[in-house]
Amino acid sequence: NYFYVRQGGDTWIRRREGRDIWRNLYELPLIETDEEQGLDDLQRSGIWAELFHGAGQVSVSSQVYSCKHVLSHRIIHARFYMVETEFAPDMTGYMKIPVERLGDYAVSRLTESFLEKLSMNYPSLF
């Protein structure tokens, strides 16, 4: 469950660490789950509260993109949501960047596919 978070002209990303295939690539805020969960369940989670602490009013669009992404060792069922916040959230571990600079950061093919779809369907966001 990925969240393309916007507040004014800014968004949030973090560099992926650890020892996985996406190491050193950047990703959008994320809530990983072992099985599909509805948005209501995600919003009641502690991770949601941590991500959007200090954000004031949070407006979530319905899911704007979903896909099945196949890696050599795993199948990922990804869902992407657009989120607008009233104030800049205190997203620990994420960095705030201007939306127009998002293309300056290396992302996974999964995230790149979402951003391509988003820019085609919502060009005013970029």
For 38-91, how does the pLDDT look when each residue is reduced to its tens digit (9 = 90+)?
999 999 999 999 999 999 999 998 667 788 777 767 777 899 999 999 999 999
Q: Where are the chain's structural domains?
A: 2-125
Given this model, what pLDDT does residue 121 score? 80
Assess whether pLDDT exceeds 70 at residue 8: yes
pTM recorded for the entire structure: 0.88
- Residue 3, beta-bridge partner list: 81
Given this model, what pLDDT does residue 75 score? 76
Which class is domain 2-125?
Answer: alpha beta
Could you give the CA distance from residue 93 to residue 82 in angstroms, rounded to a whole number? 19
